[in-house]
Amino acid sequence: MFKPTKEHADTPSRLGLPPPSEFFVESGGATLHSWFFETDHSSATVFFVHGNAGNIADRLKVIKGYLKLGLNVFIFDPRGYGKSDGRPAPKAFIQDAFSAYSHLTEKIGIDPSKIIILGQSLGGVPAVRIASEKKCAGLVLEGTFASVRLLVKDLIPFPPIWVFVTPVLDNLREIKKIAVPVLIIAGENDETIPPINSRRLYETAPEPKELLIVAGALHTDMYAKSPDVYFGAWSRFVKQTVYNRAG
């Protein structure tokens, strides 16, 4: 389930990004490494919960796109990833995201009403839970599964027994509790987490909600496959949720 890497394959400076502020967040005995890219303290902020593979450096290209929209971006590595210590585990993955969100709002002082929570792939699990329990402006899910149980049943004829006893990974159950706008994005040709998962989440989520299936895109490469479509959807969503303006 978890495929962390420790080495950074890229750097902000190499991609022409401004140097981020670096923070180390305490979470249940572990220390989490995070970056905060700030364009304007009063702007909307993306709280980025990445997926199960790699580390924060692997998300720099899409972060560059968010910065071009004028958004701030806070991204962290859960325990076991990148410069964060500890070992990854499902419950710890969620705890780490809550700790990072508290750091962003309480220590850095970002107004929750200007935060868009982004859950990418497995990162959708803690993202949905934070959005249902904490104040925020909106929730974006990208390439996220409806539930591990349904995902594995779709992909494997005879799934292992643990799949049926892990309710912590059930996004369908949790998304019903959301009280903020939701944008769900998926790649049309995603074979890792097929887009039927995004459709299930969309059907279950309360209004207001939007579903975007990006033509030809695979797993979490929607920003690269159709940047105008992808970042256009982001721009409209931020205007509608944070700034209360029509798209």
Give the residue numbers annotated as catalytic, written as ranges: 121, 190, 219
Cα separation, 113 vs 44, whole angstroms: 9
Question: Token pair of 105, please?
Answer: 């709002």
CA–CA separation, 238 and 69 (whole Å): 10
Give the residues across from 187 on adjacent strands.
214
Distance CA 164, CA 150 (A): 9
**13 burial via Cβ count (<10 Å: 0-12, 13-18, 19+):** exposed
37 vs 46: CA distance, rounded Å: 10
For the chain, what percentages of helix, strand and coil (3-state, to nearest 5) are there? Answer: 40, 20, 40
